[in-house]
Amino acid sequence: MKTIEDVQLKVKRFVEEREWQPYQSPKNIVMALSGEVGELIEHFQWLTQEESNSLTDELKAEVRDEMADVFIYLTRLADILDIDLICAAEQKIQKNARKYPVEKARGNQTKYTKLK
């Protein structure tokens, strides 16, 4: 099984082979990441809920590519900033569990600050 570290190493080598390190500041990576998220959004922008749940094979392939771009930039940013994404995700899930206790959050989409 591939790991995030495997992907980070592959991306790092890709960047080094092209001597792109001077352009790979956290600011630039975040800006590129934002652009890729925008490209992902474009594929869903005018779809209905139903259409977004049943993508054509062609659209799904395009979405897959955009998701890969987002993942690549995110893992690159994590590598540059020395952030363990798995650990960060686990900690964030724990924080969210405290913000959204099951007994208050089940079945609604109310923001945690307005849960009763």
What string of DSSP letters covers 75-109?
HHHHHHHT--HHHHHHHHHHHHHHHS-HHHHTT--
Structure tokens at 9: 């190493």
The predicted pLDDT at position 109 comes to 87
The predicted pLDDT at position 113 comes to 83
The predicted pLDDT at position 65 comes to 98
Distance CA 99, CA 5 (A): 30
* Domain 4-83, CATH: 1.10.287.1080
Provide the whole-model pTM: 0.89
Q: Taking the domains of the chain in order of start, what are their residue ranges?
A: 4-83, 85-116
The Cβ-side half-sphere exposure at 85, using a 13 Å CA radius, reads: 16
At 72, which amino acid appears?
A: I
Please list the pLDDT of the chain residue by residue as tens digits (116 residues): 699 999 999 999 999 999 999 999 999 999 999 999 999 999 999 999 999 999 999 999 999 999 999 999 999 999 999 999 999 999 999 999 999 989 888 898 888 888 87
Distance CA 80, CA 82 (A): 6
